[in-house]
């Protein structure tokens, strides 16, 4: 498993120019927040991820794919809600 700093760096690399905060909750679950570093505007927050499942590079890549999907879904939903889609 990667440590939190390595995971954060991997996520920031995958989602640049967004910044990333990773935190472990009391039940040892992971919360990931992707946001714009200049404005602080949050694009995505996912909580309750199983930290124990992030033991291999493949599982981290699966997380990246899942977050990418959620981020894209949020972007499409925001565009639709604002009348842009």
pLDDT reading at 80 higher than 60: no
CA dist 42 → 39, 59, 67 (Å): 9, 24, 14
Q: What is the pTM of this model?
A: 0.80
> Do residues 20 and 32 touch, judged by C-beta distance below 8 A?
yes
The burial of 34, by beta-carbon neighbours within 10 Å (0-12 exposed, 13-18 middle, 19 or more buried), is given as buried
For 54-73, the pLDDT digits (tens) are 888 899 999 999 999 999 98
For 42-52, the pLDDT digits (tens) are 999 999 999 88
For 3-21, the pLDDT digits (tens) are 888 888 899 899 999 999 9
């Amino acid at each position: 498993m990667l440590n939190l700093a390595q995971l954060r760096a991997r996520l920031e690399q995958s989602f640049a120019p967004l910044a990333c905060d990773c935190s472990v909750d009391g039940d040892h679950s992971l919360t990931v927040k992707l946001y714009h570093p200049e404005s602080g505007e949050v694009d995505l927050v996912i909580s309750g991820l199983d930290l124990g499942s992030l033991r291999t590079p493949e599982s981290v890549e699966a997380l990246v794919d899942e977050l990418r999907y959620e981020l894209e879904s949020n972007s499409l939903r925001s565009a639709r809600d604002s009348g842009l889609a």
